[in-house]
Amino acid sequence: MRTTITLTIAGIVCFVLAGSALAANQVKLRDFRLERSMSKQAQACLECHKREHPGIFSDWAASRHASANITCLDCHLADETDQDISKTHFKQYQRSDTPWGRAEFRVPIAEVVTPKDCSRCHPDEVKQYSRSKHANTIEIMWKIDPWLNKGMNSETERQAGCYYCHGTVLEMDEEGRLSSDTWPNVGVGRINLDGSKGSCTSCHTRHRFSVAEARKPEACGQCHLGPDHPQIEIFTESKHGDIYDTFGDEYNWDAPAGTWTPGIDYRGPTCASCHMSGAGKQLTTHDVTERLSWELQVPLTVRPEDFKPFPSNSNWQVERNKMKDICKQCHGKNWVEDHYTKTDAVVKEYNEVYFKPAKAMLDDLYSKGLLDNSRFFDEHLEVEFYELWHHEGRRARMGTAMMAPDYAWWHGFYECKHRYNGFMQEARHLLETGEKAYIFKDFPNANGDTTRPPVIFGKP
């Protein structure tokens, strides 16, 4: 009896030991855990905005920032000495109707998140953006735009129109609030109070900051549209746009930055894939001035390094080869070379046949006193000359470069011919008769300030 019990106990012990050894040798799935934590102030921001601004909170919650535990404070936290501190935000910590309105949660907040703030995590992107035409567009605009330099539109018209895309020079009012004359604004060339230029949320709108959104042509179409620079309409007409309309819902818009690959993640390009995204040997860039071999938006087409208001620090041939490399991801060498041959021919015809003769005629009228050069747009010929290059001339050049034949011809050169003929007919009449051009005496709202922003150009 005792022997039986002893054997039974021994068997149980052996079974347990064997089971333990088996369990120890079994493969286990590694348990990856992210130990997340945030300060009580950061938690207060989220909880308060969740209640006060649910749209902001839900946008953030769906973002990659949220997945990486990047909170409001990582972007909005400021130093007590910063110029752009929101003094009105301090009142939130004196509220009695919310558990988050207490002094213990008080932190200095900047209402405006700038590229300098974004550079804490995205230094390369900010450095590239800072040297682009986007970031410096206010300087460019003031150097070439007669609406501003001649004061031919009002401050209200500028704020509602020009500055919405180009950007404002941010200022604080006497109460420590952002001035309503300069805010709200997310223009690409906005001058921020911390000295940085631009707004990342022009393309990556807050608070989702989606890379997918910035990759889609509609992001660029917020500003690049209309009679003077209809890139979004040109894209829509092109074969690229047709492919996007047909297959765009199949594109992998959320591919991580630097991995978005033609032929794998998308079939046809968008604005971003040609001008910014990486492909082939080309790295991703936030400098939209790269890959350009012509300045198509200026009165007389020039190479980017010869654009006097903002010359690029590059060589047009080097930049053209970069764009060719992008094109060759989907097109053959001959196709790409012939496209550029046609574009160059269009640029030459516009410059020599349309712009230069019209400019020479305008200068002749000024020199003979038949046109008044003290202002602009207040005489019909000045408007005709402006629209010849600013409207039809741009459309002809841009339509060709982006493969939209209707914009190259019907909206472009066809309209150039009529504008040019009308301009020359009226100009020759003044020369033959010696009659001075009629000045629009009732020109509305020609009262804009002509002082260039001191923060860019220095004190006058």
The 10s digit of each residue's pLDDT in 181-199 is 999 999 999 999 999 999 9
Report the pLDDT averaged over residues 44-61: 93
pLDDT (average), residues 156-176: 94
Confidence band, pLDDT 50/70/90 cuts, at residue 117: very high
The Cα 167–Cα 48 span in angstroms is 30
pLDDT tens for residues 242-289? Answer: 999 999 999 999 999 889 999 999 999 999 999 999 999 999 999 999
CB 352 within 8 A of CB 345: no
Mean pLDDT of the chain: 92
Q: Report yes or no: 398 and 296 within 8 Å, Cβ to Cβ.
A: yes
For residue 199, the 8-state DSSP code is: -
SS3 307: coil
Rounded Cα–Cα distance for residues 6 and 4 (Å): 5
Integer-rounded Cα radius of gyration of the chain: 30
- Rounded Cα distance between 283 and 281, Å, is 7
Q: In whole angstroms, what is the distance from residue 199 CA to residue 165 CA?
A: 10
Mean pLDDT check: name the lowest of 2-11, 146-155, 241-250, 391-400.
Answer: 2-11
Buried b (16+ CB within 10 A) or exposed e, 188-199: bbbbbbbebbbb
CA distance linking residue 353 with residue 419, whole number of Å? 13
pLDDT at 274: 97
| Per-state percent for the chain, helix, strand, coil, to nearest 5 | 50, 5, 45
pLDDT confidence of residue 37: 79
Which residue type is seen at 60?
Answer: W
Domains and CATH numbers, the chain: 41-98+107-113 (no CATH), 289-449 (1.20.850.10)
In the chain, the percentage of residues whose pLDDT exceeds 70 is 92
Average pLDDT for 401-417? 98
Whether 191 contacts 233, CB under 8 Å: no
Instruction: Give the range among 78-92, 159-173, 363-377 with minimum mean pLDDT.
Output: 78-92
pTM score > 0.95 for this model?
A: no
Nearby residues of 98 by Cβ (< 8 Å), 6 or more positions away = 48, 51
Q: What is the C-alpha separation between 143 and 450, in angstroms, rounded?
A: 11
Digit-coded pLDDT (tens) for 380-397: 999 999 999 999 999 999
Q: Both tokens of residue 6?
A: 């002893």
Of 435, 428, 443, 414, nearest in space to 362 by CA: 428
**453 pLDDT higher than 90:** yes
d(C-alpha 358, C-alpha 355), whole Å: 5
Predicted confidence at residue 31, as pLDDT, reads 52
pLDDT at position 264: 96
> Is residue 9 over pLDDT 50?
no
Task: Please determine, for residue 3, whether its predicted confidence score (pLDDT) is greater than 50.
Answer: no
CB contact set of 42 (below 8 Å; sequence gap of 6+):
71, 72, 73, 74
Angle made by CA atoms 402, 403, 404, in degrees to the nearest 5: 100
- The per-residue pLDDT for range 296-312, each reduced to its tens digit, is 999 999 999 999 999 99
Q: Determine if the peptide bond prior to 304 is cis (ω within 30°).
A: no
Token pair for 322 = 């970069």
Which among 414, 420, 423, 411 is positioned nearest to 227, based on CA atoms?
411
**How far out from the chain centre does Cα 42 lie?**
29
* pLDDT band at 27; cut points 50, 70, 90: low
Cα distances from 371 to residues 72, 361, 427, in angstroms, run 57, 11, 10
314: left (phi over 0), alpha (psi -120 to 50) or beta: beta
**Local confidence band at 104 (pLDDT 50, 70, 90 cut-offs):** very high
**Do residues 304 and 293 make contact, with C-beta atoms less than 8 angstroms apart?**
yes
